[in-house]
Structure 1
Amino acid sequence: MSASAGMFSQSFFHGTKADLKPGDLIVAGYQSNFTDAKPLSWVYFTATLDAAIWGAELAAGPRPERIYVVEPTGPIMDDPNLTDKKFPGNPTLSYRSRDPLRILAEVTRWQGHSPDRLQQMKDGLARLSAEDARIID
Structure 2
Amino acid sequence: MAYTGRCACAAVTLEITGESVGTRQCWCRQCQTIAAGGPTHNAIFPAESVAIAGTLASSTWTAASGNTLTFHFCPSCGTQVYAQSSARPHLKTVRFGVLDQPHTLVPQVVIWTADAPHWAQINPALESWPQQPPAPPPA
Q: Which band: TM-score by shorter chain?
A: under 0.3
Structure showing the higher strand proportion among its residues: 2
TM-score (norm 2): 0.28
Determine which structure has greater relative contact order: mean sequence separation of CA pairs < 8 Å that are 6+ residues apart, divided by chain length: 1
Structure showing the higher helix proportion among its residues: 1
